Amino acid sequence: MTLLILLACSPAPNATRADPIRLTLAGSSTVQPVAEIAGQAFEALHPGAHVDVQGGGSSVGISSARSGLADIGTVSRGLKPDEADLTATTIGLDGIALIVHAENPMTAISREQVVSIYTGAATSWSSFGGADHAITVVNKEAGRSTLELFEGFFGLKDKILPSAVVIGPNGQAITIVAGNPYAIAYVSIGSAAVAEEQGTPIHRLSLDGIAATVENVGNASYPLMRPLNLVTKGAPTGLAKAFVDFVRSPEGQAIVAKEDFVPVGSALAAR
């Protein structure tokens, strides 16, 4: 009985989608901290507005923006040709870095070394001058743009061995590496930098001689870079537009910078 009453009282299906005060974002774990913190700031500026942020990965960002399940999809890559029905607004730049435990003596890695580790050709840290201990390889689950970009850049599509551990969001990779002196993973530079600032025992490896820093992403010297995008079906309108504009405003971009991403507005953002 109670069920029926509750059902009768519910609004029509999907009425919430066009809600002028509720905004739903879903997608990339890399963009998630920015989305959440910007969401809270946005709510403070627009009393009555609700900003809900879900994760799931960049492919969720694309599919939920398309299906209407989310008003804005968050994606940590550029749009693909078959995604021309969507509009992307770039809000920052990020890179992908290899990370290891703070105690790992390795500080630099080359492209060949990455390939040998992730294809299973090298299985012990002794191959790189470290202790003779098995390397715990951490890989991302499918559907994450970080995986796609990593595979694409290193030519590893379908060649990554069944790894020791498969994780989803950046935070999970960082947690595993922080707890395992023999682990290696690849994550967003921004999330790694923030974690290091908070004392998480990891450090980033420089790639082919270029340090994996936010500055190097900003001046385009770090090779493995990607844009951070807010994706909407068509140009953003209404509350979604207000939010996108907010994130691109100086206040929003300050949040982007605080999360250790490169703010838009430098010449490179035009890419």
- Residue 75 in contact with another protein, rule: CB under 8 A: no
Quote the least distance from Cβ 124 to another protein, whole Å: 11
| Residues 197 to 216 in contact with another protein, rule: CB under 8 A | 198-200, 202
Residue 139, both tokens? 């890989």
For residue 83, count other CB atoms closer than 10 A to its CB. Answer: 16
Q: What is the DSSP string of 4-71?
A: HHHHHHSPPTTGGGG-SSEEEEEE-TTTHHHHHHHHHHHHHHSTT-EEEEEEE-HHHHHHHHHHTSSS
DSSP label of 249: S
Nearest distance in Å: CB 267, another protein: 29
Burial state string for 146-179 with b = 16 or more CB within 10 A and e = fewer than 16: bbbbbbebbebeeebeebbeebebbbbbbbbbbe
143 binds another protein (CB under 8 A): yes
Q: How far is the CB of 57 from another protein (least distance, A)?
A: 5
Strands 22-27 and 50-56 come out as parallel
Measured distance CA(79)–CA(85) in Å, rounded = 10
The verdict on 7 binding another protein (CB under 8 A) reads yes
Q: To which H or E segment does residue 90 belong?
A: strand 86-101
Whole-number Å distance between alpha carbons of 153 and 160: 13
Q: Does 122 bind another protein (CB under 8 A)?
A: no
65 part of the interface to another protein, by CB under 8 A: no
Residue 176 touches another protein, criterion: CB under 8 A: yes
Please identify, among the stretches 106-114, 140-148, 218-226, 231-239, the one whose residues bind another protein according to the rule CB under 8 A.
Answer: 140-148
For 160, residues 6+ apart whose C-beta sits below 8 A from its C-beta are 118, 119, 139, 151
Q: Nearer to another protein by C-beta: 147 or 244?
A: 147
Residue 8 binds another protein (CB under 8 A): no
Answer for which of 30, 42, 57, 205 binds another protein (CB under 8 A) is: 57
**In terms of CB distance, is 141 or 215 closer to another protein?**
141
- Closer of 22 and 111 to another protein (Cβ): 22
Judged by the rule CB under 8 A, the positions of this chain that interact with another protein are 1-3, 6-7, 10-16, 22, 29, 32-33, 36-37, 40, 50-57, 59-60, 63, 69, 133-134, 136, 141-144, 162-169, 171-172, 174-176, 178-183, 195, 198-200, 202
